Amino acid sequence: MTEVYLDNSATTRCFPSVAAVMTKVMCEDYGNPSSMHLKGVEAEQYIKFCRQTIAKTLKVNEKEIFFTSGGTEADNLAIIGTALANQRRGKHIITTCVEHPAVLEPMEYLEKMGFEISYLGVDSKGRINLSELEQSLRTDTILVSIMHTNNEVGAVMPLDEAGRIIKSKCPKAYFHVDAVQGYGKAKILPKRMGIDLMSVSGHKIHGPKGIGFLYVNEKVKIQPIVFGGGQQKGLRSGTENVPAIAGLQKAVEEVYHFLDRDVEQLYQLREYFIRGLLQIPSVTINGSLDNDCSPHIISLSVEGVRSEVLLHALEEKRIYVSAGSACAAKKAAYSKTLQAMGVRKELLDSTIRISLSVFTTKEEIHYTLGVLYDIIPMLRRYTRH
Amino acid sequence: MFTAFLIKYAEIGVKGKNRYLFEDALVQQIKYALKRCEGSFKVRKTQGRIYVDALGEFDFEETIDQLKTVFGISGICPVVYVEDQGFEALGKTIVNYMDQVYPDKNKSFKVNARRARKNYPLDTMELNREVGAVILEAFPEMTVDVHNPDIMLYLEIREKIYIYSEVIPGPGGMPVGTNGKAMLLLSGGIDSPVAGYMISKRGVKLDAVYFHAPPYTSERAKQKVVDLARLVSRYSGPIYLHIINFTDIQLAIYEKCPHDELTIIMRRYMMKIAQQIAEETECMGLITGESIGQVASQTMHSLYATNEVCSMPVYRPCIGLDKQESVEISEKINTYETSILPYEDCCTIFVAKHPVTKPNLEIIKRHEENLREVIDELMERALSTKETIIVREEK
């Protein structure tokens, strides 16, 4: 095996078609889409085409797609942009305690500005409790932000039900979904699910880095957080990143081409992987073992082996995974998600995340399992006291 | 207006017949440091002075910054020099100098003339007085203060006439290369780069050794040590960094020796390996960042136990420093931010909860006997698989 890349929740390899179209745009169709001449018009076509492609996958209007620099900016714009534009109606926001920092940090920022934030807890599978959501909704709630798929354990939130509860109890509150880990892995139809805003990142779906988008239902009142030349109806100023947008279009097209088949295949690989992992003594899978979670993420706790050490031991075999907690070696900043799920304290620092993609093969998983069978007993001989 | 610098050096001046060796080394080191600057320079040695002349365009601040990394320099004086064309011409030059260097004229000054060329028509006293008068006439707001002047204007009459008034402190010490070479044990912490800096400051060239323990220490930890070596090499010149894979030795110690003695035994083997490389590379000593009592492995007892394996001198320039003091030096030499990056190194990864603070050498040696069957081969393998990279500060 030359390389086994199992960190697809961090980022993915580009599809060759993505790289090809980006090269073409950078070298040939390099115009500024705002320019009035032909070069500008050509560039603008890529943006329009990408909007159409995305809009089709979501069954929304292409006017409701806004390009951003990525998932983080989309989350920031959705949360801060709607909070500020609607603060006269209320200052209460609901989110979960297992969101990505791109959601949690804007929330903290708003908290300092006088907003009140409620954080929903999760069960042992990493999912929110719908009755807790229902009880948290108030007349002054203006926004609910819930992720589609948790990036650390792959739990998929019950968004259909959440959407229904929000719309029936607080019809005026907006529903934002961070779908960075979910888009391209599950069918998401915002209008049917009551979702008003949804963030997506390009490089998690084999597209380029530095691009993402925010779906904004046309009825949503939102204000910009960056100001400038008034591009994208003034909601997101700045010359559009045309090469990346063209690349994103290709990525979306490819991902959706065989979505059902690919997702089914991912579930099978995941199941095969998990079955193999559970052969190792004292190994636990965090979150659900069934197909009610994301098809590509496995969170794995290996008792008695520190995640960082396991990560580097796998790295020596050219297998790339992620340490479950982004734990800086010396100060133990343990994963909030794992803690909220009630994972045992001694396992927090022994958790790695494995994440698959359409490029992952059964042979790679077989090889990885073999390596794990070899190295885990070896690493367990040397535990820290 | 400045296109030249007068380089002052302190200790070299007191050397006897070897003085020229030190001066030549300093010239070499200055030339080396200036390679990192924009522009080209001439470095010349005349009459016990070193001058740096910029040939054409150059960046003043950048040049000063680089000169500040050259050990042996005690002061850097931006200087203006002119041919002797009579006193009147000199007076004009000086007035122009004062005007440009001190836009704010509400200052006191003193003229400090020196006459190396004794046939100059005015003597030192006369020069001081006459030049002072010219300045006062041109800038009536200025005043003379011979005890505590804001500006000390130096005037040196040599084959040419040199004018300067600013002395920017240099790092001091002795030019690198005048005092042999030593092997620095570089860990990635705060103290070891400081130790390397301090020994290098005395004119010593550095090599370094780092103990890498994959998968327990990461590639980033190794990269961090390379980065630290590069920062130290701004001062010391190129460093040969030897990277030793220490994992197997560490695991053997872990399996066969009491865990509370792990760190001491590990350090003894590190010293042995460092010493062996040092001997092969003509180093004349080892350098560590140890400071008495800072951690369990640096108590007097621990140092005694560690030092016992060394036959060459071990230099520990941080030995009497408090943590805060070495932090201050590391901030000054710009290694602090890199040092505190939170990657595990091999010293922290296997540390016992309660390591011995007063190890008994005899007991330690007895426990090391447990390694007898494997250790020679492991040491041999660690040495034969060492990776060496040359680290230097690029332009």
pLDDT, tens digit, for every residue of B145-199?
999 999 999 999 988 999 999 999 999 999 999 999 999 999 989 999 999 999 9
Q: Is residue A372 scored above 80 in pLDDT?
A: yes
pLDDT of residue B18: 81
Q: Which residues of A touch B215 (CB under 8 A)?
A: 309-316, 379
Pairing of strands A351-355, A174-178: unpaired
Residue that finishes a domain, picked among A205, A238, A257: A257
Shortest CA distance to B312 belongs to which of B292, B339, B283? B283
| Residue bearing tokens 């900016």 | A73
Q: Which residues of A touch B352 (CB under 8 A)?
A: 385
> What's the CA gap between B263 and B188, in Å, rounded?
16
- Residue A149 belongs to some domain of the structure: yes
Contact B343/A329, CB-based, under 8 Å? yes
Residue of B nearest to A314 (CA): B215
- Residue A176 belongs to some domain of the structure: yes
Q: Are residues B165 and B188 in the same domain?
A: no
Residue of B nearest to A331 (CA): B342
pLDDT of residue A330: 41
Q: Are residues A233 and A329 in the same domain?
A: no
CA angle B259, B260, B263 (to 5 degrees): 85
Q: Are residues B247 and B310 in the same domain?
A: yes
Q: Are residues A156 and A23 in the same domain?
A: yes
Residue that finishes a domain, picked among A222, A257, A292: A257
Residue of A nearest to B255 (CA): A382
Per-residue pLDDT tens over the stretch B264-284:
999 999 999 999 999 999 999
Contact B255/A308, CB-based, under 8 Å? no
End-to-end Cα spacing for chain A: 35
pLDDT of residue A327: 43
Residue that finishes a domain, picked among A226, A257, A288: A257
| Residue A293 known to be catalytic | no
Q: Are residues A235 and A274 in the same domain?
A: no
| Three-state DSSP state, B239 | strand
pLDDT of residue B395: 65
| Residue bearing tokens 């500040």 | B68
Region of residue A313 (left: phi > 0; alpha: psi -120 to 50; beta: else): alpha
Q: What is the 3-state secondary structure (H, E, C) of chain A?
A: CCCEECECCCCCCCCHHHHHHHHHHHHCCCCCCCCCCHHHHHHHHHHHHHHHHHHHHHCCCHHHEEEECCHHHHHHHHHHHHHHHCCCCCCEEEEECCCCHHHHHHHHHHHHCCCEEEEECECCCCCECHHHHHHHCCCCEEEEEEECECCCCCEECCHHHHHHHHHHHCCCCEEEEECCCCECCECCCHHHHCCCEEEEECHHHCCCCCCEEEEECCCCCCCCCCCCCCCHHHCCCCCCCHHHHHHHHHHHHHHHHCHHHHHHHHHHHHHHHHHHHCCCCCEEEECCCCCCECCCEEEEEECCCCHHHHHHHHHHCCEECEECCCCCCCCCCCCHHHHHCCCCHHHHCCEEEEECCCCCCHHHHHHHHHHHHHHHHHHHCCCCC
Q: Is residue B14 scored above 90 in pLDDT?
A: no
> What's the CA gap between B85 and A374, in Å, rounded?
85
Residue A284 belongs to domain with CATH number? 3.90.1150.10
Q: Are residues B154 and B82 in the same domain?
A: yes
CB A270 within 8 A of CB A356: yes
> What is the DSSP track for B174-204?
B-TTSS-EEEEE--SSSHHHHHHHHHHTBT-
C-beta neighbour count of B133 within 10 angstroms: 13
Q: Are residues B12 and B153 in the same domain?
A: yes
Contact A312/B217, CB-based, under 8 Å? yes
- Residue A355 belongs to some domain of the structure: yes
* Domains identified in chain A, total number: 2
- Residue B175 belongs to some domain of the structure: no
Pairing of strands A319-320, B161-164: unpaired
Q: Are residues B195 and B318 in the same domain?
A: yes
Q: Are residues A221 and A146 in the same domain?
A: yes
Per-residue pLDDT tens over the stretch A90-146:
999 999 999 999 999 999 999 999 999 999 999 999 999 999 999 999 999 999 999
Q: Are residues A310 and A359 in the same domain?
A: yes
| Three-state DSSP state, B214 | coil
What's the mean pLDDT in B329-344?
89
Q: How many residues in total does chain A contain? A: 385
C-beta neighbour count of A28 within 10 angstroms: 10
Residue B17 belongs to domain with CATH number? 3.30.2130.30
Q: Which member of B214, B344, B352 has the closest CB to residue A329?
A: B344
> What's the CA gap between A309 and A307, in Å, rounded?
5
Handedness of CA B100, B102, B107, B111 (dihedral sign): negative
> What's the CA gap between A119 and A110, in Å, rounded?
14
Q: Are residues B11 and B127 in the same domain?
A: yes
Residue B237 belongs to domain with CATH number? 3.40.50.620
- Residue A169 belongs to some domain of the structure: yes
Chain A residues touching chain B at CB-CB below 8 Å: 308-316, 328-331, 379, 381-382, 384-385
- Residue A95 belongs to some domain of the structure: yes
- Residue B174 belongs to some domain of the structure: no
Q: Are residues A123 and A218 in the same domain?
A: yes
Q: Are residues A321 and A228 in the same domain?
A: no
Residue that finishes a domain, picked among B169, B199, B221: B169
Q: Are residues B62 and B154 in the same domain?
A: yes
Interface residue of A312, A380, A381 to substitute, partner B, most B CBs within 10 Å: A312
- Residue A385 belongs to some domain of the structure: no
Handedness of CA A64, A59, A174, A225 (dihedral sign): negative
> What's the CA gap between B3 and A87, in Å, rounded?
62
Residue A49 belongs to domain with CATH number? 3.40.640.10
Please report which confidence band the pLDDT of residue B348 belongs to, taking 50, 70 and 90 as the band edges.
Answer: low
Q: Are residues A175 and A316 in the same domain?
A: no
Contact B218/A331, CB-based, under 8 Å? no
- Residue B242 belongs to some domain of the structure: yes
Q: Are residues A228 and A265 in the same domain?
A: no
HSE at residue B380, side-chain half, CA atoms within 13 A, is 5
Range of B339's domain? 181-391
- Kindly list the strands in the beta sheet with A351-355, ordered across the sheet, starting from the edge strand earlier in the chain: A283-286, A297-302, A351-355, A322-323
- Residue A265 belongs to some domain of the structure: yes
Q: Are residues B84 and B145 in the same domain?
A: yes
Averaged pLDDT of chain A: 94
Q: Are residues B20 and B65 in the same domain?
A: yes
Residue that finishes a domain, picked among B124, B149, B169: B169
CB A286 within 8 A of CB A335: no
Shortest CA distance to A317 belongs to which of A73, A58, A5? A5
Handedness of CA B184, B187, B188, B190 (dihedral sign): negative
> What's the CA gap between B219 and B202, in Å, rounded?
32
pLDDT of residue A332: 52
Q: Are residues B221 and B114 in the same domain?
A: no
What's the mean pLDDT in A209-236?
97
* Residue B215, preceding peptide bond in cis (omega within 30° of 0): yes
- Among the residue ranges A154-163, A218-227, B94-103, B349-358, the one predicted with the least confidence is B349-358
- Residue A67 belongs to some domain of the structure: yes
Contact A330/B352, CB-based, under 8 Å? no
Q: Are residues A144 and A62 in the same domain?
A: yes
Q: Which residues of B touch A310 (CB under 8 A)?
A: 215
Q: Are residues B293 and B371 in the same domain?
A: yes
Q: Are residues A251 and A312 in the same domain?
A: no
Per-residue pLDDT tens over the stretch B116-150:
888 899 999 999 999 999 999 999 999 999 999 99
Q: Are residues A88 and A234 in the same domain?
A: yes
* Domains identified in chain B, total number: 2
- Residue B44 belongs to some domain of the structure: yes
Q: Are residues B126 and B200 in the same domain?
A: no
Q: Which helix (H) or strand (E) holds B374?
A: helix B372-384
Residue that finishes a domain, picked among B137, B169, B201: B169
Q: Is residue B346 scored above 70 in pLDDT?
A: no
CB B243 within 8 A of CB B221: no
| Largest Cα–Cα separation, chain A | 69
Q: Which helix (H) or strand (E) holds B101?
A: helix B87-101
Residue of B nearest to A310 (CA): B215
Range of A330's domain? 4-12+258-380
